[in-house]
Chains A and B, each alone.
Chain A
């Protein structure tokens, strides 16, 4: 790796939040009203920081009459998510609709298929049990990123079992119904109102493929995909997002058991991951990064490896449909 001359510090991700917000608001107006020729924006709000900031930016850009927030809980959603979503809506003056998608997911067999996949490795898993899938520690060891399932019985006893390939694929495929059903609902309202759909990934999530293809990965615009999560928090403070939401720990809110993003996807907490990603993008040596974020150079090197390998593995998620032969009349960026 080449060494840069830029000094690396914990402050490299500091931004002028008001200025960055103004730029994004201008872009949102241009994208939605001019380039996409839509009247407003749909934002699915989870009560998390990213969707909260996107909703706030859209309202500042377009006005509250042109933004609709969708609250889309399902059977495994934390009650906190509904509370925080309503808190956000109140604080922003955001119009919302609530659509409980549990019925759709049940009809599609989401929960049943997931549970059947888990029973391939834990035969006793049934109603009353809770689950989540977790990765091993990839920063403090050299383990492959192979998922295990953590299961909690009705009496509170927890066990952890490594997933086989078919059980892992089964769990992921079934769970992905959730993100894809939410997106289906977002586009229903988008079509109904002639609005565009805003995606809410931050840079870490976008870069590392932390989304479901044609689920939460689908959108017409992604206003904060270029911002590190650390910077999203800075915007949140500047935009006046309720402090409770700012302080809420990031969660996937996807499995019945509480699951942090570090357990499921990222090897480090977001603030350290952001700095590693920033440093990796600039080919800054692990020895320079390590003391800044409180890790050893070996741990930073492993984090770099995870970043690189995850990028490779998730390239597929970003690809649009591949044509067997070009259709020149339809450019790749047909929106311009």
Chain B
């Protein structure tokens, strides 16, 4: 699953309680769509830290980094391990159910 898709899935399943997206675009502001409140942000932070294995600093907890699928994807990609991020551009990170996996030149696992 591409990073952006996994982030969208998390938002839909956990912050929107599985309700249909209703035209929820990757650039839509979570705040303006009323999707996110303080507890939802905390849930999102917990997910990001556990899933992508980095610690969010207080100064990073702002809408510029977290307020849409696209912003989330850019932010997460920027915080991933540099050796992995260097091989891939944004949106090219593939994720399995377990530890983070990255696409090689010839597809997953290579």
Contact = CB atoms under 8 A, between A and B. Distances in A.
- Are A and B part of the same complex? yes
A164 B61 contact: no
Interface residues of B, number: 16
Given A164-B42, A165-B39, A168-B42, A144 B34 contact: no
Interface in A128-146: 136, 141-146
B14 to A, nearest CB: 11
A309 B31 contact: yes
B3 interface: no
A313 interface: yes
Contacts of A313: 37-38
B37 A309 contact: yes
A141 B31 CA distance: 16
Interface in A293-322: 305, 309, 312-313
A169 B37 contact: no
A144 B41 contact: yes
A266 interface: no
Interface of B is mostly: helix
Contacts of B41: 144-146
Contact of B39 (A141, A142, A148, A169): A169
A147 B41 CA distance: 11
A139 B45 CA distance: 22
Interface in B8-42: 31, 34, 37-39, 41-42
Contacts of B93: none
A166 to B, nearest CB: 8
Chain A: number of interface residues, binned into ranges: 10 to 19
B108 interface: no
B62 A142 contact: yes
Contacts of A180: none
A144 B39 contact: no
Contact of A146 (B31, B38, B64): B38
Nearest to B41: A144
A144 B62 contact: yes
B38 A147 contact: yes
Q: Across chains A and B, which 5 residue pairs bring their CB atoms closest together, nearest first? A: A165-B42, A313-B37, A145-B38, A144-B41, A142-B62
